[in-house]
């Protein structure tokens, strides 16, 4: 039970820490050109890994997992 509470707390902290989208972060850092492209690619890859882990923690499979992951990545990357 303590492990579950700890995992939930860490998830909330990680979500709050990554609340800013990749696009907003790149703009804030004033990245452009190849630096922005590289940053966005790495940020999207990291977001996909985190979203896949969240989907696995929620025990999602098939279309539900695909939909959740797609929305999660889009929210993390921003527009």
Listing DSSP states for 5-69 in one string gives HHHHHHHHHHHHHT-S-HHHHHHHTT--HHHHHHHHHHHHHHHHHHHHHHHHHTT--HHHHHHHH
What is the predicted pLDDT for the residue at 78?
Answer: 87
At 43-71, the pLDDT tens digits run 999 999 999 999 999 999 999 999 999 99
Residues 27, 74: Cα–Cα separation, whole Å: 17
pLDDT at site 19:
62
Per-residue model confidence as pLDDT tens digits over 2-28: 544 444 444 544 444 456 899 999 999
Specify the pLDDT at position 15: 45
């Amino acid at each position: 039970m303590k492990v579950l509470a700890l995992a939930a707390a860490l998830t909330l902290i990680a979500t709050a820490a990554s609340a800013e989208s990749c696009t907003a972060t790149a703009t804030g850092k004033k990245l452009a050109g190849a630096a922005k492209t590289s940053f966005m690619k790495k940020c999207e890859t990291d977001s996909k890994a985190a979203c896949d882990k969240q989907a696995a923690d929620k025990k999602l499979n098939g279309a539900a997992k695909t939909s959740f992951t797609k929305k999660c990545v889009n929210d993390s990357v921003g527009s």
